């Protein structure tokens, strides 16, 4: 029997939820309340399933997302999530069919990119996705930081740290998060539902642990950052406090806020270890500590994957620090965005259009995804054989054009 790939109906949605949980190795049970809550927040026209007879054997969903680009602009993305194929039906092309269908519709709709967070690195490169940002996580040995705990909560710049709560974070957080997109590229927007779920509201299958919240206010009174962290209430046999604070969310839009919030969370009595949660790999955390070796890197991993669907929009939506022109020859096995493009960029503006001129660089569309938000080096990709340099020196010129002082990063997983 052939397997059908199509959108799911409301009555099929409980099965879709169970199939999703099975694919993610979570207990395959959902309550009616959870189904109703999820249903209210998905677009069924963008929710795909694969059906073997009346058995739902694969799930795939997409939604509209805004992603910050270099210079503070934004790109509309086809955000892909909840991709599973039943263990009985894997490696038979079902993901390929769902992905091909979704990307074609996204291209048609005019989305500039598709985005996702990959469960495993090898899955999505074949569909033209490239790792556009990376994440790091640190474990901080609080007793070795050298930070002065007497300054915690009383920043030296006239700002202040105040304890807060979920209600206040839902009010002030969205504006702080919105400003983050002006600081780094690759920030994916948070919807009102993301704020609700991220602060403990809504139906959930796993138990919720209420975090502690703190805000940083500049001397002017403006909120420039906040942190949410939990603690595990651990003591050793000698009655020494051995708590680990786990940072769930730390958004700071000024260096002062970043400094003050890390100082605060790394100076709370009873906390001996701080786990930073996922941060940009160039997060200043280690260097904010008088002894940076107190911060041990635990994780360095690919985070946001991007698939360029519209080369002109992607390249014209960002800023460039120098003036130069390059011709890029882009291969796209799926026929969505390939071709030869001339990019003319300067700090004053940019234009990008198809051309027949000879190319300076040739590479797969997936490599453009790793370069476009400023994270990767064309020179490095050249040395790996992933970018072909057709004009001597073109890769180094591409780096001067594309790379950014701060690496792209999104604190959000979707």
Ligand X SMILES: CC(=O)SCCNC(=O)CCNC(=O)[C@H](O)C(C)(C)COP(=O)(O)OP(=O)(O)OC[C@H]1O[C@@H](n2cnc3c(N)ncnc32)[C@H](O)[C@@H]1OP(=O)(O)O
Find out whether 273 and 245 touch, Cβ atoms under 8 Å: yes
Q: CB nearer to ligand X: give 80 or 227.
A: 80
Q: CB nearer to ligand X: give 276 or 370.
A: 370
Q: 350 among the known binding-site residues?
A: no
Candidate residues 19, 57, 114, 118; the one interacting with ligand X per rule CB under 6 A: 118
414 noted as active-site residue: yes
Q: Is 292 exposed, middle or buried (0-12, 13-18, 19+ CB in 10 A)?
A: middle
Span of 27-35, 112-120, 196-204, 363-371 interacting with ligand X by CB under 6 A: 112-120
Find out whether 330 and 368 touch, Cβ atoms under 8 Å: yes
Binding track, positions 75-94, relative to ligand X; x by CB under 6 A: -----xxxxxx----xxxxx
Q: 379 among the known binding-site residues?
A: no
Among residues 13, 51, 60, 124, the one annotated as catalytic is 124
Candidate residues 36, 119, 396, 400; the one interacting with ligand X per rule CB under 6 A: 119
CB of 98 to ligand X, least distance (A): 8
CB of 89 to ligand X, least distance (A): 7
Binding track, positions 331-370, relative to ligand X; x by CB under 6 A: ----------------------------------------
The set of residues, in sequence order, having a beta carbon less than 8 Å from that of 150 and lying 6+ positions away, is none
Helix (H) or strand (E) holding 58: strand 55-68
Q: 333 among the known binding-site residues?
A: no
Find out whether 410 and 187 touch, Cβ atoms under 8 Å: yes
Q: Is 96 in the site for ligand X (CB under 6 A)?
A: yes
Q: CB nearer to ligand X: give 50 or 280.
A: 50
**Size of site (CB under 6 A) for ligand X:** 22
Cα-Cα end-to-end distance for the chain: 34
Q: Listing from the earlier edge strand, what are the strands of the sheet with 304-308?
A: 3-7, 47-52, 55-68, 74-85, 113-117, 304-308, 130-131
Q: CB nearer to ligand X: give 39 or 123.
A: 123
Neighbours of 73 (CB within 10 A): 16
190 phi and psi angles, rounded to 5 deg: -105, 130
Candidate residues 44, 105, 123, 172; the one interacting with ligand X per rule CB under 6 A: 123
Site for ligand X in 10-39 (CB under 6 A): 23
Using alpha carbons, select from 271, 275, 267 the residue that is nearest to residue 249: 275
Q: CB nearer to ligand X: give 81 or 139.
A: 81
Q: Is the Cα torsion angle 219, 220, 225, 228 positive or negative in sign?
A: positive
Distance CA 343, CA 361 (A): 12
Span of 110-118, 141-149, 287-295, 316-324 interacting with ligand X by CB under 6 A: 110-118
CB of 93 to ligand X, least distance (A): 5
Span of 119-127, 169-177, 270-278, 388-396 interacting with ligand X by CB under 6 A: 119-127
Find out whether 26 and 205 touch, Cβ atoms under 8 Å: yes
Q: Is 236 in the site for ligand X (CB under 6 A)?
A: no
Q: Is 2 in the site for ligand X (CB under 6 A)?
A: no
Q: Is 55 in the site for ligand X (CB under 6 A)?
A: no
Using alpha carbons, select from 413, 383, 386, 385 the residue that is nearest to residue 305: 413
Strand 361-364 and strand 349-354: the pairing is: unpaired
Distance CA 12, CA 7 (A): 10
311 phi and psi angles, rounded to 5 deg: -60, -45
Find out whether 278 and 135 touch, Cβ atoms under 8 Å: yes
CB of 49 to ligand X, least distance (A): 13
Q: Is 326 in the site for ligand X (CB under 6 A)?
A: no
Q: CB nearer to ligand X: give 116 or 368.
A: 116
Candidate residues 56, 95, 180, 314; the one interacting with ligand X per rule CB under 6 A: 95
Q: 91 among the known binding-site residues?
A: yes
Distance CA 266, CA 264 (A): 5
Q: 199 among the known binding-site residues?
A: no
337 phi and psi angles, rounded to 5 deg: -145, 10
Distance CA 77, CA 362 (A): 25
Q: CB nearer to ligand X: give 49 or 155.
A: 49
Q: CB nearer to ligand X: give 30 or 285.
A: 30
Q: 143 among the known binding-site residues?
A: no
124 noted as active-site residue: yes
Distance CA 314, CA 23 (A): 33
Which residues are designated catalytic?
A: 124, 414
Residues that bind ligand X (CB under 6 A): 23, 80-85, 90-96, 116-120, 122-123, 126
Residues contributing to the annotated binding site: 83-85, 91-96
Residues contributing to the annotated binding site for acetyl-CoA: 83-85, 91-96
């Amino acid at each position: 029997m052939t397997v059908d790939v199509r959108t799911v109906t409301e009555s099929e949605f409980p099965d879709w939820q169970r199939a999703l949980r099975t694919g993610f190795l979570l207990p395959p049970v959902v309550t009616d309340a959870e189904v109703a809550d999820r249903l209210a927040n998905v677009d069924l026209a963008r929710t795909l399933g694969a059906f073997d007879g009346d058995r739902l054997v694969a799930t795939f969903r997409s939604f509209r997302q805004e992603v910050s680009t270099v210079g503070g602009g934004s790109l509309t993305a086809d955000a892909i999530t909840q991709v599973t194929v039943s263990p009985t039906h894997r490696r038979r092309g079902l993901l390929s069919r769902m992905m091909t269908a979704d990307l074609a519709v996204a291209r048609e709709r005019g989305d500039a990119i598709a985005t996702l967070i990959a469960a495993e690195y090898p899955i999505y490169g074949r569909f033209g996705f490239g790792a556009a940002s990376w994440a790091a996580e640190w474990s901080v040995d609080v007793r070795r930081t050298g930070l002065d705990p007497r300054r915690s909560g009383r920043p030296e710049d006239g700002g202040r740290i105040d304890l807060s709560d979920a209600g206040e974070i839902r009010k002030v957080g969205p504006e702080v998060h919105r400003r983050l997109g002006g600081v780094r590229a690759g920030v994916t927007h948070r919807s009102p539902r993301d704020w609700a779920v991220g602060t403990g509201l809504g139906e959930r299958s796993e138990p919720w642990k209420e975090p502690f919240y703190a805000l940083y206010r500049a001397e002017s009174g403006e909120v420039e950052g906040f942190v949410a962290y939990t603690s595990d209430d651990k003591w050793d046999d000698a009655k020494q406090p051995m708590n680990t604070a786990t940072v769930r969310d730390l958004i700071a839009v000024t260096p002062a806020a970043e400094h003050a919030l890390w100082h605060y969370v790394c100076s709370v009595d009873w906390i001996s270890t701080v786990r930073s949660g996922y941060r940009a790999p160039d997060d200043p955390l280690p260097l904010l500590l008088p002894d940076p070796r107190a911060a041990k890197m635990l994780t360095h991993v690919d985070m946001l994957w991007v698939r360029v669907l519209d080369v002109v929009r992607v390249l014209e939506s960002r800023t460039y620090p120098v003036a130069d022109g390059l011709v890029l020859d882009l291969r796209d096995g799926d026929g969505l965005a390939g071709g030869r493009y001339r990019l003319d960029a300067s700090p004053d503006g940019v234009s990008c259009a198809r051309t027949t001129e000879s190319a300076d660089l040739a590479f797969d569309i997936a490599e453009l995804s790793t370069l476009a938000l400023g994270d990767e080096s064309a020179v490095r990709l050249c040395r790996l054989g992933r970018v072909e340099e057709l004009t001597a020196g073109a890769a180094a010129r591409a780096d001067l054009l594309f790379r950014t002082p701060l690496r792209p990063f999104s604190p959000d997983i979707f």
